[in-house]
Structure 1
C-alpha cells in the first residue's frame, strides 16, 4: 500500500487520515452566550415537531447561535410585555408600597400571561 499523507486540504476543507479513511476536520463555532430557558424549550420543540429544521441547524453548526438569539429575543419580549401590562393595569410602585399582597398578585398574573404570550409567539411556533 502506498504512503498517504496524514493531512490533506481539498475543496476548502481539511481532512485527517484515520486508518484508511480521511475524516473531515469539522469545528463548531464558539458560542459563549447561554441558551437559557426559552432556548432549551424551543430546542425540545424542534426535536419533537419539524425534525428537518432541527437536523439542518444542528448539522450546519448554527443551532447554538440560533437558540441563544431566540432566548435573548424572548427575554426582551417578556420584559416589554410585562411593562406594557403594568402600565395598562396601573400596577405601580405606589400600589406596591400601599398594598404589597395586591401588587404581588397582580405581578404574578401579569408575568404568567406574558410568559404564555412569549411561548405562543416565539417558542412553540
Structure 2
C-alpha cells in the first residue's frame, strides 16, 4: 500500500488548511507547430484526437510533428535561399528583410500543408 498521503504539506489560506498539490508536468512544452497540429486534430479529426488522447500517444505525436516541422522549415529555407539568393544585408537591409520574410512564408505554407493539415 502506498503511503504518499503522509507526505502532503499544507498551507493556511484564511481559516482553511489547503494541501500543496502540483500537477505532473509534461516532459516538453509544445511549440507553434505542435499546438497548430493539436488544434487541427481537435477541430477536424476529433475521433483520431480522442483516440490518441486516451491511448497516451497524442503528446508524443505532437512533439514529433513539432520537431519534424522545425527541421523541414530549416531545410526548405536553405533550398529556397539557394534558388533565390537574398540581397546584400548590409547595403539593402529592408530588401533583405522583405526577401527573407517572403521565403519564410513560402516555407511555412509548404510545411503547414505537408505536416499540420494532413
Who wins on radius of gyration, i.e. which is larger?
Answer: 1
Q: Which of 62, 66, 71 pairs up with 2:61?
A: 66
- The whole-number CA distance in structure 1 between the counterparts of 2:62 and 2:108 is 17
In the TM superposition, what is the alpha-carbon distance from 1:43 to its structure 2 partner?
0.6
2:92 to 72, 96, 99: 99
Any stretches of 5+ residues in structure 2 without a counterpart? 3-24
Normalising by structure 1, we get a TM-score of 0.70
39, 46, 49: which one aligns with 1:44: 39
Larger strand proportion, structure 1 or 2? 1
Structural mapping, 1:1-80, within 5 Å: 31-80=26-75
Instruction: Give ranges in structure 1 of 5+ residues lacking alignment.
Output: 1-5, 8-29
Give the count of matched residue pairs: 96
**TM, length-normalised to structure 2:** 0.74
Deviation for aligned residue 1:112? 0.9
Q: Aligned Cα RMSD in Å?
A: 1.8
Superposed structure 1 runs of 4+ greater than 2 Å apart: none
Of residues 85, 89, 92, the one that matches 1:90 is 85
Q: Is the 8 A contact 1:31 1:65 kept in 2?
A: no
Does residue 1:117 correspond to 2:105, yes or no?
A: no
